[in-house]
């Protein structure tokens, strides 16, 4: 019980000192004079917490490589960016358009068909990775040649 | 960012004249300013939007340019063209990601009210019908893909994404594509 009480008093005292304009080194000296037994490292963490200071970045670079503790490497999950591409034109005077979304390779694969053949609907929203969305392409028909489109 | 500009000039002819390829989506704030505007005016509009909605940065593309001539056949001079002038169309893109579709629509509606430009209003209504905002990035008939004219502020978020998408489409056009029948279609390169 006594230990626990001592800890609370030290923390309380450090909080009081950190509210003043004293520097961290001055606070450490003050605690030693008062006979409070606490490590410098822990005092500094307390002071940072009370004053709302962010911890220093990239602390690991100050430690030599042979003493560094290696963290377990997490397998890197590759974030694939989604692209959105629209292809539009006319088929027998009717405006038609694809709105394709997916990764670059998937869209590239789909565009090979979309550039030559119009969709069955007026607006076809397609996910390029879905095989079922290939049914939207009307392979029997082709786009009008050189139409005047107002986008 | 490094790939834009000079590389576009290598595309000499339209490989797919029957269709237009563009960038669509509701995450990027985009605008199309046609016919009436000078580059200085477009910049002014961009700065207005930038300050009001804190959009981070912007980029301006010149989509097409047409030369208009005024003729007078009654004059005795050799040159019967009295006056020449150019009409330029611009695309505007902003850096910040849109939180929702309604935010994007509110921005576009505000600029429509400020400019009172009929073409811009019609374009905005068309986008509302389509439910996505689309801008051309490839060829349109004989007109070339839009080229970069001006940039301001940060370019790291949505502008970078748009630029990647644009480059992707241009690279697709450069490639020789075989039809299902085995015909190579972009012979212009």
Q: Where are the domains of chain A?
A: 2-64, 83-136
Return the C-alpha torsion angle A29, A31, A32, A34, nearest 10: 130
Residues of B in contact with A111 (CB under 8 A): 21, 172
Q: What is the pLDDT of residue A53?
A: 83
Residue B135: which residues within 8 A CB-CB, separation 6 or more?
B22, B23, B30, B32, B91, B93, B146
Interface mutation vs chain B, best among A100, A111, A134, A145, most B CBs within 10 Å: A111
Q: Which strand ranges, in their side-by-side order, compose the sheet holding A94-102?
A: A123-127, A94-102, A83-91, B19-25, B133-136
Interface mutation vs chain B, best among A91, A95, A115, most B CBs within 10 Å: A115
Q: What is the pLDDT of residue B36?
A: 87
ipTM here: 0.81
Q: Where are the domains of chain B?
A: 16-62+92-166
Closest chain A CA to residue B167: A104
Q: What is the mean pLDDT of chain B?
A: 85
On whether any CB of chain B is under 8 Å from the CB of A98, the answer is no
Task: Give, for all 151 residues of chain A, the pLDDT tens digit.
Answer: 445 566 678 888 998 999 898 999 999 999 999 998 889 999 998 998 888 888 777 777 888 888 877 665 555 556 667 889 999 999 998 999 999 998 888 898 888 888 889 999 999 999 888 877 888 898 888 898 877 776 5
Which positions in chain B have a beta carbon within 8 angstroms of at least one beta carbon in chain A?
16-25, 130, 132, 134, 136, 140-141, 161, 164-165, 168-169, 172, 177-180, 185
Closest CB from B134, B140, B168 relative to A83: B168
Rounded Cα–Cα distance for residues B53 and B30 (Å): 13
Chain Cα centroid distance, residue B167: 14
Q: What is the pLDDT of residue B187?
A: 41
CB neighbour class for B92 (10 Å; exposed up to 12, middle 13-18, buried from 19): buried
Residues B56-115: pLDDT tens digits? Answer: 999 999 998 888 888 887 777 777 787 888 899 999 999 999 999 999 999 999 999 999
On whether any CB of chain B is under 8 Å from the CB of A115, the answer is yes
Residues A56-65: pLDDT tens digits? Answer: 777 778 888 8
Residues of B in contact with A113 (CB under 8 A): 180
Prediction pTM value: 0.70
């Amino acid at each position: 019980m006594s230990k626990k009480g001592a800890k609370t008093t030290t923390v309380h005292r450090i909080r009081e000192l950190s509210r003043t304009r004293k520097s961290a080194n001055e606070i450490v000296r003050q605690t030693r004079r008062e006979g409070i037994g606490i490590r410098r490292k822990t005092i500094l963490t307390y002071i940072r917490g009370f004053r709302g200071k962010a911890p220093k970045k990239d602390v690991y670079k100050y430690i030599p490589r042979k003493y560094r503790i290696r963290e377990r490497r997490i397998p890197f999950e590759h974030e694939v960016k989604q692209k959105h591409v629209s292809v539009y034109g006319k088929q027998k005077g009717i405006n038609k358009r694809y709105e394709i979304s997916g990764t670059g390779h998937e869209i590239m694969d789909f565009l090979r068909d979309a550039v030559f053949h119009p969709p069955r609907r007026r607006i076809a929203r397609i996910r390029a990775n879905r095989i079922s969305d290939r049914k939207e392409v009307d392979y029997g028909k082709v786009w009008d040649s050189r139409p005047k489109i107002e986008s | 960012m490094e790939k834009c500009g000079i590389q576009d000039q290598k595309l000499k002819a339209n490989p797919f004249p029957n269709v237009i390829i563009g960038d669509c989506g509701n995450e990027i704030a985009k605008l199309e300013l046609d016919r009436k505007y000078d580059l200085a005016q477009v910049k002014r509009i961009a700065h207005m939007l930038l300050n009001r909605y804190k959009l981070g940065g912007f980029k301006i593309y010149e989509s097409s340019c047409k030369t208009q001539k005024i003729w007078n056949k009654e004059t005795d001079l050799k040159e019967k063209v009295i006056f020449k002038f150019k009409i330029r169309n611009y695309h505007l893109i902003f850096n910040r990601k849109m939180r929702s579709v309604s935010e994007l629509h509110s921005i576009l509606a505000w600029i429509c009210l400020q400019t009172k430009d009929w073409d811009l209003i019609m374009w905005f209504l068309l986008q509302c019908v389509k439910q996505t905002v689309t801008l051309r990035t490839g060829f349109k008939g004989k007109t070339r893909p839009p080229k970069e004219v001006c940039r301001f502020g940060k370019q790291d978020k949505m502008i970078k994404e748009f630029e990647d998408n644009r480059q992707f489409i241009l690279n697709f056009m450069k490639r020789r594509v075989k039809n299902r029948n085995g015909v190579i279609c972009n012979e212009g390169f």
